[in-house]
Amino acid sequence: MQKREVRFEYQVFNSLEELNASDRTLIESARAITQKAYAPYSEFLVGAVALLDNGATVAGTNQENASYPVGICAERVLLASAAMIHTDVPIKTMAIAYHHLNGESNKPVSPCGMCRQSIHEYEERTHQTIRLILSGMTGEIMIIENASSLLPMSFGSHELIGE
């Protein structure tokens, strides 16, 4: 028997002022763009903004549906847009913020399991890891250097091609 361990480190900042200018702009944009979410059912408005290797930025917000499972998260709206508009361009950093109309928005939330899988695939197809910046509208900000740290023992394309 062997024991194996998975661990990762992330950074926590108390305020926006502690971030560099580029990161600060990204998270401010993600917070602002929560207003474009279509989330009449959950009232949980999520905004995601990414900086790509070519200098472009791409955004996404959650888009819900009266048939609840049809809804799509902000992160996957962003990834689909990036893949269409800037095909094969790696994402350097994705900032994700949320505004909970019915509750507090003062601590970071991290991407749901489905989005983690989707982000992982984007990393694989562009051969580059993605940095995540997570926050609410106020409070602490987290930076995770490699999004795939959130998906240990992930399933990916290598399983299907038998590598």
| Start-to-end CA span in the chain (Å) | 25
Q: Rounded to 5 degrees, what are φ and ψ at 134?
A: -120, 135
Our CB check for ligand THU shows the closer of 51 and 60 to be: 60
Three-class SS state of 11: strand
Does residue number 105 form part of the binding site for ligand THU (CB under 6 A)?
A: no
Binding test (CB under 6 A) with ligand THU, winner from 74, 79, 95, 147: 74
CB 134 within 8 A of CB 93: no
Our CB check for ligand THU shows the closer of 20 and 67 to be: 67
In the beta sheet, which residues pair with residue 141? Answer: 13, 135
Does residue number 95 form part of the binding site for ligand THU (CB under 6 A)?
A: no
Give the position of tokens 């508009």: 85
Does residue number 64 form part of the binding site for ligand THU (CB under 6 A)?
A: yes
Residues that bind ligand THU (CB under 6 A): 39, 42, 44, 46, 62, 64, 71, 73-75, 111-112, 115
Residues classed as catalytic: 75
